[in-house]
């Protein structure tokens, strides 16, 4: 047994991040920015996107396992979120703002799906997933404000 103490990373490097209340996505972005400030960062976008793809592949690998290990799946999904935050950061996009906008867009579309359903059979639960997906397509076209949006 060795008397040497394990080497641990400097807590002072990240101490400023610990005092800032932020969302999990904002915290991930701040953590990545702190590392980037000392040169631990990609300088081009392609490897960042490659990392996102790698993390998505690792989610698929875990989902293909029988049985799926929930703890590993949790970790892989977290890694994918972290990689997506890094992609957003490199693109100059706030990950919090991007998720909020996507959530709002989803809500608007789903509210229209519900309205279309109520105008037909009367209850959204009376439709098959395929029928609801058709309403989703209608809602997407109806609410589309940006021709580049998908």
Tens of pLDDT, residue by residue over 36-88, are: 999 999 999 999 999 999 999 999 999 999 999 999 999 999 999 999 999 99
Dihedral Cα 45, 49, 55, 59, nearest 10 deg: 160
Q: What is the pLDDT of residues 74-124, one digit of tens each?
A: 999 999 999 999 999 999 999 999 999 999 999 999 999 999 999 988 789
Range of 37's domain? 22-93
Q: Is residue 3 assigned to a domain?
A: no
Q: Is residue 40 assigned to a domain?
A: yes
pTM beyond cutoff 0.85:
no
Contacts of 69 (CB under 8 A, 6+ apart): 62
**For the chain, what's the residue count?**
150
Q: Do residues 132 and 113 lie in contact, with contact meaning Cβ atoms separated by under 8 Å?
A: yes
- Give me the mean pLDDT over the 8-23 stretch: 63
On whether both 52 and 81 belong to a single domain, the answer is: yes
Q: Do residues 108 and 143 lie in contact, with contact meaning Cβ atoms separated by under 8 Å?
A: yes
On whether both 87 and 102 belong to a single domain, the answer is: no
pLDDT at 122: 78
Look at the block and give the residue holding tokens 């793809």: 53
Q: Is residue 113 assigned to a domain?
A: yes
Q: Do residues 51 and 83 lie in contact, with contact meaning Cβ atoms separated by under 8 Å?
A: yes
Alpha carbon 132 to its chain's center: 24
- Tell me, what CATH number does 82's domain have? 1.10.287.1080
Q: Return phi, psi of residue 47, to 5°.
A: -70, -25
Can you tell me the distance from the alpha carbon of 33 to that of 39, in angstroms, rounded to the nearest whole number?
10
pLDDT band at 7 (very low <50, low <70, confident <90, very high): very low
Handedness of CA 36, 37, 38, 44 (dihedral sign): positive
């Amino acid at each position: 047994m060795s008397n040497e103490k394990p080497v641990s990373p400097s807590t002072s490097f990240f101490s400023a991040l610990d005092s800032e209340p932020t969302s999990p996505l904002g915290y991930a972005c701040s953590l990545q920015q702190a590392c980037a400030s000392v040169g631990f960062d990609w300088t081009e976008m392609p490897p960042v996107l490659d990392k996102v793809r790698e993390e998505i592949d690792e989610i698929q690998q875990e989902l293909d396992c029988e049985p799926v290990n929930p703890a590993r799946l949790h970790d892989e999904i977290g890694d994918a979120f972290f990689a997506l935050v890094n992609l957003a950061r490199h693109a100059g996009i706030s990950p919090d703002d991007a998720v909020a906008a996507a959530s709002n867009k989803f809500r608007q579309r789903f509210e229209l799906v519900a309205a279309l359903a109520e105008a037909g059979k009367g209850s959204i639960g009376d439709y098959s997933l395929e029928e609801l997906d058709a309403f989703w397509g209608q809602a997407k076209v109806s609410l589309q404000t940006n021709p580049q949006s998908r």
